[in-house]
Structures are given as C-alpha cells and as structure tokens.
Amino acid sequence: MGLFSKDRKDAKWIKPQDSIGAIMPFIMPKRTDAEVSSKVVLDITKLCDYVDELNNSGKLDYKMTYFQALATCVGKTLYNREALNRFVKNKRLYLRNSISIGFVAKDKFKDNAEEKMICLDLSPKDDIFSLTHKMAIDVFKVRKEGSNDMDGVLKAFTSLPKWLLSIVVKIVMFLDEKGLNPKFITEGDLNYTTVLLSNLGSIRTNSCYHHLNNYGTNSIVMTIGTIKESKGKKTVDIWATLDERISDGFYFARSIQLIQYIALHPELLEERLSSKIEYNEEDLKNIF
C-alpha cells in the first residue's frame, strides 16, 4: 500500500460501477443514513434435521447447534456473494481482504452475565465441521476464562478519566475513518466484521431491527429469532439491516434467497465455504 494509494491495510478500494454508486456516499456519508432493513422467515426444517443427525451419529466431539449451522449458511453465502463483503469509509467503497462473522456470547447463563464479543475469520477451506468446531471452542473459552483480548482493551479505555476518554475516542474515530487504527483495537471488535449475528433465539425472543454503527466497517447486522415448529415444519425469523451503498436491493434479496437455498440443501455445507454453488435463477426465484 503506497503513500498515495486508495487502498487500506484491511481492504482494497473499488471504483463504483455506476454514477449512483459513486454519488451515494456523498449524499449519505454515514452508514446509519443508508440503512435498509428486511425481515424474512426461513424454512430450516432440513437444516435442523441435518444437525440432529450429526449430533446423534457420534462423529462429533462437540454438540453442534442450529445457530452454528445457520451461521455457516451465512458464511457460505458470503463467499458466493462477494459484494456483501464490502463497506464504505471516507466516502469510498472497499472490499475486505478477509471474510468474518461476529456474535456475542454470555459468559454465564444469567441476566446479569457479561456479554463477550467473538469474531471469527472464515477460511475459504472451512466447512461446517471446521467452522462450527471453532465456534464451539471460542464460546467455551470465553465462558471458561470469562474474558477475551477485546475486553481488556475496553476496560483499559473505560478506566480513563472522562475528559481523557473523550479525547481518546475522538482520536480512535478519526483513525477509523482513515483506516489507520492499530490491530489491537480492531482485532476482536464486532464493528469490523463482515456480518454481525445476534442470536435472540437463545433468550427465547423474536428477531428485531438492529441499527448499524458508523464506527468500524461492519455493513450487515442480522438478528435471529426463536425457532418455531408447526405441523412438522421448523422456521426461524431473521431481520437483516444493511448498508445500501455497498450494493443494490436486488443483490441483497438474492443473497437472502441463497441462505434459504443452502438451508434447504444442508449437504452443501460439507463442501468448502469458497466452493461455488450451482443453481438456476428459477431455483432462487421460487424460494419465497
């Protein structure tokens, strides 16, 4: 990355393909200005049956959860829909150098338990077995140790006097805009992941709208509600909030349809996340 390069250390600059894409960051300079939100109900019957079969097979040394499997569906979609890995910063469009997902885990199953941030970089070689195993290990580690590296950074910042913390935050926000924040600040921060997942089903509630943040590079937030069962069919509601500056609405709609398509064909998750899914347009058109 040269002195006058438009690239960042975490992403490469993309030239907008049309005039609308070029002007939008100037009309809507903040990510929160460009939010679009949609709620969908996914049929995850086959996905849940697939997870149950794996857990009962004795082949796993951990218990795979429905949330982990659904997160893998999202991860595979990210590798098949490259534009979802974009973000806008400093009025420029970028494509990340890596793909990541983030979620929150409580260190204890209590109302007053602290929430710990977990961020996972997705390898193109990952499949449902390697990815869910990593998720299980990270959650276990957080609940056992009660903290992670990002918790230490936050505690250090919040221990500062109010006047000094205000100055530090302004500096961090400025560096964030320019893509110059040091790794110890960005690593492990959900605000820098491709997709932030919030598993509201774990607290037995429905999905809800969740805002984006102007800080960081995260452009997609998805909340996942409680799994419902009726007449042998299992469904889950998902509410997605996205930055419309990274792509158009049709692209987003097709991406949600692809998540559903993968959930209907869970065997695809045994292939590498980077393996391309072969489907006809009619396959996705008839999803919803």
From 157, 187, 217, give the residue that closes a domain. Answer: 187
From 163, 187, 211, give the residue that closes a domain. Answer: 187
Average pLDDT, stretch 59-69?
A: 95
Total of domains in the chain: 2
**How confident is the model at residue 243, as a pLDDT?**
97
Q: What is the domain extent for residue 124?
A: 28-144+191-285
Claim to verify: residue 52 and residue 128 sit in the same structural domain: yes
Q: What is the mean pLDDT of the chain?
A: 90
Q: Angle CA(64)–CA(42)–CA(104) in degrees, nearest 5?
A: 50
* pLDDT score of 56 more than 70: yes
**How confident is the model at residue 113, as a pLDDT?**
57
Claim to verify: residue 36 and residue 175 sit in the same structural domain: no
CA distance 105 to 202: 10
Claim to verify: residue 180 and residue 200 sit in the same structural domain: no
Task: Decide which of 103 and 282 is more confident.
Answer: 103
Claim to verify: residue 54 and residue 172 sit in the same structural domain: no
Whether 32 is in a domain gets the answer yes
Strand partners, 116: 105
CA distance 227 to 220: 22
Whether 45 is in a domain gets the answer yes
Average pLDDT, stretch 120-128?
A: 97
* pLDDT score of 123 more than 80: yes
Claim to verify: residue 138 and residue 264 sit in the same structural domain: yes
Average pLDDT, stretch 121-135?
A: 96
**How confident is the model at residue 263, as a pLDDT?**
97
Whether 156 is in a domain gets the answer yes
State the pLDDT confidence band at 136, using cuts at 50, 70 and 90: very high
CA distance 91 to 120: 27
Identify whether the C-beta of residue 165 lies closer than 8 Å to the C-beta of residue 158: yes
Q: Which CATH number does the domain housing residue 260 bear?
A: 3.30.559.10
State the pLDDT confidence band at 138, using cuts at 50, 70 and 90: confident
State the pLDDT confidence band at 222, using cuts at 50, 70 and 90: very high
Claim to verify: residue 160 and residue 41 sit in the same structural domain: no
Whether 7 is in a domain gets the answer no
* pLDDT score of 111 more than 60: no
Claim to verify: residue 134 and residue 109 sit in the same structural domain: yes
Task: Decide which of 256 and 139 is more confident.
Answer: 256
Average pLDDT, stretch 131-142?
A: 87
Whether 41 is in a domain gets the answer yes
Q: What does the chain come to in residues?
A: 288
**How confident is the model at residue 116, as a pLDDT?**
74
State the pLDDT confidence band at 90, using cuts at 50, 70 and 90: very high
Claim to verify: residue 60 and residue 178 sit in the same structural domain: no
Claim to verify: residue 72 and residue 93 sit in the same structural domain: yes
Average pLDDT, stretch 12-38?
A: 94
Whether 23 is in a domain gets the answer no
Claim to verify: residue 206 and residue 229 sit in the same structural domain: yes
Whether 38 is in a domain gets the answer yes
Whether 275 is in a domain gets the answer yes
* pLDDT score of 2 more than 70: no
**How confident is the model at residue 18, as a pLDDT?**
87
Claim to verify: residue 61 and residue 113 sit in the same structural domain: yes
Q: Angle CA(178)–CA(251)–CA(286) in degrees, nearest 5?
A: 155
* pLDDT score of 245 more than 60: yes
Q: According to the 3-state scheme, what is the secondary structure of the chain? A: CCCCCCCCCCEEEECCCCHHHHHHHHHCCCHHHHEEEEEEEEECHHHHHHHHHHHHHCCCCCCCCHHHHHHHHHHHHHHHCHHHHEEEECCEEEEECCEEEEEEEECCCCCCCCEEEEEEEECCCCCHHHHHHHHHHHHHHHHHHCCCHHHHHHHHHHCCCHHHHHHHHHHHHHHHHHCCCCHHHHCCCHHHCCEEEEEHHHHCCCCCCCCCCCCCCCCEEEEECCCEEECCEEEEEEEEEEECCCCCHHHHHHHHHHHHHHHHCHHHHHCCCCCCCCCCHHHHHCCC
Claim to verify: residue 157 and residue 102 sit in the same structural domain: no
* pLDDT score of 280 more than 70: yes
